[in-house]
Structure 1
Amino acid sequence: MDSVAKQAVGSKYVLESMKYARGKTWEVVDRLAERIQPGMLESEATALCKTVLNELGMDRIWHPMLVRFGENTLKTFKERSDGDPQLKDDDIFFVDLGVVWDQHEGDAGATFVVGNDAQMKACADAAKTVFDEVEQHWRSTRAGGKALYDFAERRATALGWRLNLDIKGHRVSDFPHAIYKAGDLGDFADCPDTGLWILEIQLAHPTRPFGSFYEDLLI
């Protein structure tokens, strides 16, 4: 499939609707994070996520909801959580949501920390920092997807973290984007167009068993 086909959109696609879906998905992420407290089970947080989504009137979920606590923050999207951990007083968690709003796909994810573990806070901050640096690199250089992830790996290493290169971003569009089979952003040679690709950053602490995650629409 050539780069034009990999960046195709459906008949319903409108960039402003992608921005709307992005904003609504971030609203869910933020509302959910505010309601997750120490003592809660990972499964309870996932159930709470369904409640928040229904409160805000989603169209549907387009990929499984993920809420990861503690060591499960090292898991990739396709991996199951180990057990059903309880969030500790000093702990880390991330939320990853793919939700359809107004027939367009929102996808957002971020990491949050409860308590006072300085290394967990630094790890959460680093995922957003690397995302921001890669996003700015895309805007300033118009680098291709593969080059963006090469840059992300260099920046993560320089900051003292390990980048998980099994997670390399993906397409979004008017629902469903999957018909385009565009593959990972990190394998896309050309510059990704605005409003069509999710940049994902997943980091791991170099020695301790936790990580962090951040994703958003390149726009």
Structure 2
Amino acid sequence: MAVRDVEAVEVRVLDADDRDAQGFEVRTTEGSVSARRLLLATGVVDDLPGTPGVAELFGTVAAHCPYCHGHEFAGTRVGILGAGQHIGHTAGLMAPVASALTVFADGGELTADIAAVLETRRVDVVTEPVVRVEPHTLDDGRPGARVVLDGGTTVELGGLMVAPKQRQAAPFAEQLGLELRDSGSVAIDAFGRTSLPGVSAAGDLAHSADFPMAVSSVLAAAAAGQIAAAALGADLLSLGR
């Protein structure tokens, strides 16, 4: 079997929904490319809460994942923004790390079960709307955040956990008519195969039924890409191609 060269090109894909019995036609800014199989790995976009200041601090003292950023906030008061169902889970993960926790309901209402969980964990709950979040330097010199409330009161934090809403970063799943899970990510099986034969997906744009959510992790995305690519290779070999 002849070994084919692999070519990496920096182009923008315009659409990928043209298909026939031979495969797919991917239209790019530099022309069209024919493919027998497609692997989508375009990721998702995090739509942050609209609270002023959050976007500017996101990735430093504002974060969405306790596993990714919890250690940086260790030993400080950590805030959790919002009143959604993520509050109890985030509070549980951050409780062993933070010196104290404050939930900013931002004018929203906590459900009775979430309120009970927060009370058990001795989490402070602030109900006033949040006006803005701004940079702040902690007493030990570490960067932090200051939450400014509607009444003018401020709360100083070592970190602020937020819950972005995720959406597909590219239109290809919609163009191809792929099945999505409630998470908004593409439904895949254990081998990365989607609802459309010949199309696979890997990374946090994809969601296996074996997990409660799409996994947003570089290592998990790389592993998913490897598994999906191996499955695609086996698929093509079975066809004698």
Give the TM-score normalised by structure 2.
Answer: 0.22
| Greater relative contact order, per chain length (Cα 8 Å cut-off, separation 6+) | 1
**Higher strand proportion, which one?**
2
Give the TM-score normalised by structure 1.
Answer: 0.23
**Higher helix proportion, which one?**
1
